[in-house]
Structure 1
Protein backbone atom coordinates (compact mmCIF):
# COMPACT_ATOMS: atom_id res chain seq x y z
CA UNK A 1 0.00 0.00 0.00
CA UNK A 2 1.37 3.42 -0.96
CA UNK A 3 1.93 5.93 1.83
CA UNK A 4 1.33 9.64 1.70
CA UNK A 5 4.47 11.55 0.79
CA UNK A 6 4.57 13.98 3.71
CA UNK A 7 7.26 16.01 1.93
CA UNK A 8 4.59 17.24 -0.46
CA UNK A 9 2.48 18.75 2.33
CA UNK A 10 2.83 22.41 3.25
CA UNK A 11 4.90 23.08 6.36
CA UNK A 12 2.02 25.00 7.97
CA UNK A 13 -0.14 21.87 7.72
CA UNK A 14 2.60 19.52 8.95
CA UNK A 15 3.15 21.74 11.99
CA UNK A 16 -0.49 21.47 13.08
CA UNK A 17 -1.80 19.18 15.82
CA UNK A 18 -4.78 16.97 15.08
CA UNK A 19 -8.13 18.14 16.41
CA UNK A 20 -9.34 16.20 19.42
CA UNK A 21 -13.10 16.49 19.90
CA UNK A 22 -14.51 17.00 23.36
CA UNK A 23 -16.34 14.32 25.28
CA UNK A 24 -19.44 13.05 23.50
CA UNK A 25 -21.65 11.46 26.19
CA UNK A 26 -24.12 9.01 24.70
CA UNK A 27 -25.96 7.80 27.79
CA UNK A 28 -27.89 9.37 30.61
CA UNK A 29 -29.92 12.55 30.67
CA UNK A 30 -27.12 14.89 29.60
CA UNK A 31 -28.19 17.47 27.02
CA UNK A 32 -25.21 18.11 24.77
CA UNK A 33 -24.69 21.71 23.70
CA UNK A 34 -21.05 21.51 22.64
CA UNK A 35 -21.69 20.51 19.01
CA UNK A 36 -24.78 22.59 18.23
CA UNK A 37 -26.98 19.50 18.29
CA UNK A 38 -30.68 19.93 18.90
CA UNK A 39 -31.93 17.92 21.89
CA UNK A 40 -35.41 17.78 20.31
CA UNK A 41 -36.54 15.71 17.32
CA UNK A 42 -37.34 17.46 14.02
CA UNK A 43 -40.88 18.65 13.42
CA UNK A 44 -43.24 16.31 11.54
CA UNK A 45 -43.16 18.73 8.58
CA UNK A 46 -39.37 18.34 8.35
CA UNK A 47 -39.66 14.55 8.52
CA UNK A 48 -42.31 14.62 5.76
CA UNK A 49 -40.12 16.86 3.58
CA UNK A 50 -37.19 14.46 3.98
CA UNK A 51 -39.39 11.46 3.15
CA UNK A 52 -40.71 13.24 0.05
CA UNK A 53 -37.17 14.09 -1.05
CA UNK A 54 -36.13 10.44 -0.66
CA UNK A 55 -38.88 9.27 -3.01
CA UNK A 56 -38.47 12.03 -5.58
CA UNK A 57 -36.42 11.89 -8.75
CA UNK A 58 -34.31 14.81 -7.46
CA UNK A 59 -32.34 12.62 -5.06
CA UNK A 60 -30.30 10.99 -7.83
CA UNK A 61 -29.07 14.34 -9.17
CA UNK A 62 -26.58 16.83 -7.79
CA UNK A 63 -28.20 20.02 -6.53
CA UNK A 64 -27.52 23.29 -8.31
CA UNK A 65 -23.93 24.06 -7.22
CA UNK A 66 -24.60 27.78 -7.46
CA UNK A 67 -27.75 27.62 -5.34
CA UNK A 68 -29.51 29.84 -7.86
CA UNK A 69 -33.07 29.38 -6.56
CA UNK A 70 -31.99 29.60 -2.93
CA UNK A 71 -29.92 32.75 -3.54
CA UNK A 72 -32.81 34.39 -5.42
CA UNK A 73 -35.26 33.59 -2.60
CA UNK A 74 -32.83 34.69 0.13
CA UNK A 75 -31.91 37.85 -1.77
CA UNK A 76 -35.59 38.70 -2.20
CA UNK A 77 -36.36 38.02 1.48
CA UNK A 78 -33.38 40.09 2.65
CA UNK A 79 -33.65 42.81 0.01
CA UNK A 80 -30.10 42.24 -1.27
CA UNK A 81 -28.49 41.24 -4.55
CA UNK A 82 -28.40 37.42 -4.80
CA UNK A 83 -24.85 37.68 -6.16
CA UNK A 84 -23.74 38.97 -2.75
CA UNK A 85 -24.79 35.68 -1.11
CA UNK A 86 -22.15 32.98 -0.61
CA UNK A 87 -23.33 29.41 -0.16
CA UNK A 88 -21.40 26.39 1.06
CA UNK A 89 -21.64 23.02 2.74
CA UNK A 90 -22.15 24.28 6.27
CA UNK A 91 -20.71 27.22 8.15
CA UNK A 92 -17.21 25.73 8.47
CA UNK A 93 -17.03 25.54 4.67
CA UNK A 94 -18.05 29.21 4.41
CA UNK A 95 -15.43 30.22 7.00
CA UNK A 96 -12.79 28.28 5.04
CA UNK A 97 -13.79 29.90 1.73
CA UNK A 98 -13.68 33.38 3.28
CA UNK A 99 -10.26 32.74 4.81
CA UNK A 100 -8.84 31.48 1.52
CA UNK A 101 -10.37 34.40 -0.39
CA UNK A 102 -9.36 37.29 1.88
CA UNK A 103 -6.25 36.23 3.81
CA UNK A 104 -2.95 36.00 1.94
CA UNK A 105 -0.29 33.59 3.14
CA UNK A 106 1.40 35.31 6.10
CA UNK A 107 -1.61 37.64 6.33
CA UNK A 108 -3.35 38.73 9.52
CA UNK A 109 -6.58 37.43 11.00
CA UNK A 110 -8.23 38.55 14.25
CA UNK A 111 -10.90 37.23 16.56
CA UNK A 112 -12.30 37.94 19.99
CA UNK A 113 -11.35 35.31 22.56
CA UNK A 114 -12.34 32.91 23.96
CA UNK A 115 -14.24 31.81 20.89
CA UNK A 116 -14.62 29.17 18.20
CA UNK A 117 -11.39 27.17 17.82
CA UNK A 118 -11.70 26.78 14.05
CA UNK A 119 -10.50 30.37 13.50
CA UNK A 120 -7.04 29.45 14.81
CA UNK A 121 -6.99 26.30 12.68
CA UNK A 122 -7.90 28.23 9.53
CA UNK A 123 -5.10 30.71 10.23
CA UNK A 124 -2.62 27.86 10.66
CA UNK A 125 -3.69 26.21 7.39
CA UNK A 126 -3.39 29.55 5.59
CA UNK A 127 0.00 30.14 7.23
CA UNK A 128 -1.43 33.39 8.54
CA UNK A 129 -1.02 35.09 11.90
CA UNK A 130 -4.07 35.28 14.15
CA UNK A 131 -4.42 37.83 16.93
CA UNK A 132 -6.86 36.92 19.69
CA UNK A 133 -8.45 39.90 21.41
CA UNK A 134 -9.85 39.22 24.90
CA UNK A 135 -13.41 40.18 25.70
CA UNK A 136 -13.83 42.57 28.61
CA UNK A 137 -14.87 41.19 32.02
CA UNK A 138 -18.51 41.80 30.99
CA UNK A 139 -18.10 39.98 27.64
CA UNK A 140 -18.00 43.14 25.55
CA UNK A 141 -15.57 44.10 22.82
CA UNK A 142 -12.68 46.32 23.87
CA UNK A 143 -13.32 50.06 23.33
CA UNK A 144 -10.64 50.15 20.62
CA UNK A 145 -10.02 47.09 18.45
CA UNK A 146 -6.23 46.63 18.41
CA UNK A 147 -5.97 45.04 14.94
CA UNK A 148 -7.96 47.18 12.48
CA UNK A 149 -5.51 46.23 9.72
CA UNK A 150 -6.50 42.52 9.79
CA UNK A 151 -7.27 40.99 6.42
CA UNK A 152 -10.24 39.22 8.03
CA UNK A 153 -11.85 39.48 11.47
CA UNK A 154 -14.18 36.88 12.98
CA UNK A 155 -16.81 37.52 15.64
CA UNK A 156 -18.93 34.61 16.86
CA UNK A 157 -22.26 36.09 17.91
CA UNK A 158 -23.65 34.53 20.01
CA UNK A 159 -20.22 33.66 21.24
CA UNK A 160 -19.00 30.14 21.73
CA UNK A 161 -18.41 29.07 24.51
CA UNK A 162 -20.04 31.82 26.60
CA UNK A 163 -23.34 32.16 24.73
CA UNK A 164 -23.18 35.94 25.19
CA UNK A 165 -24.19 38.43 22.50
CA UNK A 166 -22.42 41.56 21.34
CA UNK A 167 -24.87 44.43 20.75
CA UNK A 168 -25.47 45.58 17.17
CA UNK A 169 -24.05 49.05 17.95
CA UNK A 170 -20.79 47.44 19.11
CA UNK A 171 -20.63 45.28 15.98
CA UNK A 172 -21.21 48.36 13.82
CA UNK A 173 -18.46 50.25 15.67
CA UNK A 174 -16.07 47.35 15.10
CA UNK A 175 -17.01 47.02 11.42
CA UNK A 176 -16.44 50.74 10.83
CA UNK A 177 -12.94 50.52 12.33
CA UNK A 178 -11.72 47.64 10.16
CA UNK A 179 -9.90 47.74 6.84
CA UNK A 180 -10.82 44.12 5.98
CA UNK A 181 -14.12 42.25 6.16
CA UNK A 182 -15.82 41.42 9.45
CA UNK A 183 -17.43 37.97 9.56
CA UNK A 184 -20.30 37.64 12.03
CA UNK A 185 -20.44 33.91 12.73
CA UNK A 186 -23.95 33.10 13.97
CA UNK A 187 -23.72 29.30 13.67
Structure 2
Protein backbone atom coordinates (compact mmCIF):
# COMPACT_ATOMS: atom_id res chain seq x y z
CA UNK A 1 0.00 0.00 0.00
CA UNK A 2 1.38 3.40 -0.97
CA UNK A 3 1.57 6.39 1.36
CA UNK A 4 -1.27 8.06 -0.59
CA UNK A 5 -3.47 4.98 -0.13
CA UNK A 6 -2.76 4.93 3.59
CA UNK A 7 -4.15 8.47 3.84
CA UNK A 8 -7.38 7.47 2.08
CA UNK A 9 -10.18 6.33 4.41
CA UNK A 10 -11.31 3.53 2.02
CA UNK A 11 -8.27 2.84 -0.20
CA UNK A 12 -9.56 -0.37 -1.77
CA UNK A 13 -13.28 -0.17 -1.06
CA UNK A 14 -13.99 3.18 -2.71
CA UNK A 15 -12.42 2.33 -6.09
CA UNK A 16 -14.34 -0.95 -6.21
CA UNK A 17 -17.57 0.76 -5.14
CA UNK A 18 -17.14 3.35 -7.88
CA UNK A 19 -16.33 0.75 -10.54
CA UNK A 20 -19.02 -1.77 -9.62
CA UNK A 21 -21.66 0.74 -8.50
CA UNK A 22 -21.00 2.90 -11.53
CA UNK A 23 -21.21 -0.16 -13.78
CA UNK A 24 -24.51 -1.30 -12.25
CA UNK A 25 -25.93 2.22 -12.47
CA UNK A 26 -24.73 2.52 -16.07
CA UNK A 27 -26.37 -0.78 -17.01
CA UNK A 28 -29.67 0.18 -15.31
CA UNK A 29 -29.66 3.61 -16.99
CA UNK A 30 -28.89 2.03 -20.36
CA UNK A 31 -31.73 -0.51 -20.03
CA UNK A 32 -34.12 2.25 -18.94
CA UNK A 33 -33.12 4.30 -21.98
CA UNK A 34 -33.71 1.36 -24.33
CA UNK A 35 -37.08 0.70 -22.67
CA UNK A 36 -38.02 4.37 -22.91
CA UNK A 37 -37.23 4.47 -26.63
CA UNK A 38 -39.21 1.25 -27.20
CA UNK A 39 -42.17 2.79 -25.40
CA UNK A 40 -41.84 5.98 -27.47
CA UNK A 41 -41.96 3.90 -30.67
CA UNK A 42 -44.92 1.78 -29.58
CA UNK A 43 -47.35 3.09 -26.96
CA UNK A 44 -48.64 -0.49 -26.45
CA UNK A 45 -45.16 -1.73 -25.51
CA UNK A 46 -44.95 -3.15 -21.99
CA UNK A 47 -41.49 -2.58 -20.48
CA UNK A 48 -39.72 -5.62 -19.06
CA UNK A 49 -39.69 -3.96 -15.65
CA UNK A 50 -43.47 -3.61 -15.47
CA UNK A 51 -44.40 -6.39 -13.05
CA UNK A 52 -47.66 -5.18 -11.52
CA UNK A 53 -49.48 -1.85 -10.98
CA UNK A 54 -46.98 -0.78 -8.28
CA UNK A 55 -43.75 -2.16 -9.78
CA UNK A 56 -44.26 -0.56 -13.17
CA UNK A 57 -41.59 1.19 -15.20
CA UNK A 58 -44.16 2.02 -17.87
CA UNK A 59 -46.23 4.03 -15.40
CA UNK A 60 -43.16 5.97 -14.32
CA UNK A 61 -41.63 6.46 -17.79
CA UNK A 62 -44.68 8.24 -19.17
CA UNK A 63 -44.70 10.99 -16.51
CA UNK A 64 -43.26 14.47 -16.77
CA UNK A 65 -40.88 13.59 -13.93
CA UNK A 66 -39.18 10.99 -16.17
CA UNK A 67 -37.91 13.73 -18.48
CA UNK A 68 -37.37 16.71 -16.19
CA UNK A 69 -34.88 18.44 -18.49
CA UNK A 70 -36.74 17.68 -21.72
CA UNK A 71 -35.03 14.35 -22.42
CA UNK A 72 -35.23 10.97 -20.65
CA UNK A 73 -33.62 11.10 -17.20
CA UNK A 74 -31.66 7.86 -17.78
CA UNK A 75 -29.46 9.73 -20.27
CA UNK A 76 -28.11 11.65 -17.27
CA UNK A 77 -27.43 8.31 -15.60
CA UNK A 78 -25.55 7.00 -18.62
CA UNK A 79 -23.21 9.99 -18.57
CA UNK A 80 -22.85 10.19 -14.79
CA UNK A 81 -22.37 6.51 -14.09
CA UNK A 82 -19.86 6.21 -16.94
CA UNK A 83 -17.74 8.85 -15.19
CA UNK A 84 -18.15 7.09 -11.84
CA UNK A 85 -17.15 3.69 -13.25
CA UNK A 86 -14.19 5.18 -15.13
CA UNK A 87 -13.06 6.89 -11.92
CA UNK A 88 -13.14 3.57 -10.07
CA UNK A 89 -11.17 1.90 -12.87
CA UNK A 90 -8.59 4.70 -12.85
CA UNK A 91 -8.13 4.41 -9.08
CA UNK A 92 -7.80 0.63 -9.27
CA UNK A 93 -5.16 1.08 -11.97
CA UNK A 94 -3.14 3.23 -9.58
CA UNK A 95 -4.26 6.63 -10.81
CA UNK A 96 -4.09 9.65 -8.53
CA UNK A 97 -6.78 12.22 -9.09
CA UNK A 98 -6.38 15.95 -8.57
CA UNK A 99 -8.36 17.83 -5.97
CA UNK A 100 -10.45 19.57 -8.63
CA UNK A 101 -11.46 16.15 -9.99
CA UNK A 102 -12.62 15.00 -6.55
CA UNK A 103 -14.53 18.28 -6.13
CA UNK A 104 -16.23 17.69 -9.47
CA UNK A 105 -17.04 14.09 -8.53
CA UNK A 106 -18.49 15.36 -5.24
CA UNK A 107 -20.62 17.90 -7.09
CA UNK A 108 -21.89 15.23 -9.48
CA UNK A 109 -22.52 12.69 -6.71
CA UNK A 110 -24.38 15.31 -4.66
CA UNK A 111 -26.48 16.42 -7.63
CA UNK A 112 -27.24 12.77 -8.37
CA UNK A 113 -28.25 12.06 -4.77
CA UNK A 114 -30.50 15.12 -4.58
CA UNK A 115 -32.11 14.28 -7.92
CA UNK A 116 -32.63 10.62 -6.96
CA UNK A 117 -34.25 11.59 -3.67
CA UNK A 118 -36.55 14.01 -5.48
CA UNK A 119 -37.47 11.18 -7.86
CA UNK A 120 -38.05 8.85 -4.90
CA UNK A 121 -40.51 11.36 -3.44
CA UNK A 122 -42.21 11.75 -6.81
CA UNK A 123 -42.49 7.97 -7.27
CA UNK A 124 -43.89 7.42 -3.80
CA UNK A 125 -46.27 10.34 -3.43
CA UNK A 126 -47.09 11.76 -6.88
CA UNK A 127 -46.75 8.97 -9.43
CA UNK A 128 -47.77 6.12 -7.13
CA UNK A 129 -45.57 3.53 -8.81
CA UNK A 130 -42.03 2.20 -8.54
CA UNK A 131 -39.66 1.50 -11.38
CA UNK A 132 -37.43 -1.51 -10.50
CA UNK A 133 -34.55 -0.28 -12.66
CA UNK A 134 -34.88 3.17 -11.09
CA UNK A 135 -34.66 1.55 -7.66
CA UNK A 136 -31.38 -0.05 -8.74
CA UNK A 137 -30.15 3.45 -9.57
CA UNK A 138 -31.28 4.63 -6.12
CA UNK A 139 -29.46 1.72 -4.50
CA UNK A 140 -26.11 2.57 -6.09
CA UNK A 141 -26.40 6.37 -5.97
CA UNK A 142 -26.74 6.50 -2.19
CA UNK A 143 -23.50 4.65 -1.32
CA UNK A 144 -21.58 6.36 -4.12
CA UNK A 145 -22.58 9.75 -2.71
CA UNK A 146 -21.93 8.65 0.88
CA UNK A 147 -18.44 7.25 0.34
CA UNK A 148 -17.27 10.01 -2.01
CA UNK A 149 -18.47 12.50 0.62
CA UNK A 150 -16.69 10.67 3.46
CA UNK A 151 -13.49 10.48 1.43
CA UNK A 152 -13.60 14.19 0.66
CA UNK A 153 -14.47 15.18 4.23
CA UNK A 154 -11.60 13.07 5.51
CA UNK A 155 -9.19 14.70 3.05
CA UNK A 156 -10.41 18.18 4.00
CA UNK A 157 -10.56 17.68 7.79
CA UNK A 158 -8.48 14.56 8.53
CA UNK A 159 -8.29 15.07 12.29
CA UNK A 160 -11.78 16.38 12.96
CA UNK A 161 -13.47 14.12 15.54
CA UNK A 162 -16.87 14.15 13.80
CA UNK A 163 -15.32 13.20 10.45
CA UNK A 164 -13.24 10.47 12.10
CA UNK A 165 -16.38 9.08 13.78
CA UNK A 166 -18.30 9.08 10.48
CA UNK A 167 -15.44 7.30 8.73
CA UNK A 168 -15.10 4.77 11.55
CA UNK A 169 -18.86 4.09 11.71
CA UNK A 170 -19.43 4.57 7.97
CA UNK A 171 -21.82 1.65 7.53
CA UNK A 172 -24.22 2.69 10.32
CA UNK A 173 -25.57 5.89 8.70
CA UNK A 174 -25.69 4.09 5.35
CA UNK A 175 -27.72 1.22 6.83
CA UNK A 176 -30.08 3.70 8.49
CA UNK A 177 -30.43 5.60 5.20
CA UNK A 178 -31.47 2.41 3.40
CA UNK A 179 -33.76 1.41 6.28
CA UNK A 180 -35.60 4.74 5.98
CA UNK A 181 -35.97 4.33 2.21
CA UNK A 182 -37.28 0.77 2.58
CA UNK A 183 -39.66 1.89 5.36
CA UNK A 184 -41.01 4.71 3.16
CA UNK A 185 -41.65 2.27 0.31
CA UNK A 186 -43.33 -0.23 2.64
CA UNK A 187 -45.43 2.44 4.34
CA UNK A 188 -46.58 3.75 0.99
CA UNK A 189 -47.21 0.48 -0.85
CA UNK A 190 -47.08 -2.27 1.80
CA UNK A 191 -49.27 -5.18 0.73
CA UNK A 192 -49.53 -3.94 -2.86
CA UNK A 193 -45.97 -5.05 -3.52
- Whether the TM-score (by the shorter chain) exceeds 0.5 is no
Rg larger for: 1
Structure with the higher helix share, 1 or 2? 2
TM superposition score normalised by structure 1: 0.26
State the structure with bigger RCO (CA 8 A, min sep 6), 1 or 2. Answer: 2
TM superposition score normalised by structure 2: 0.25
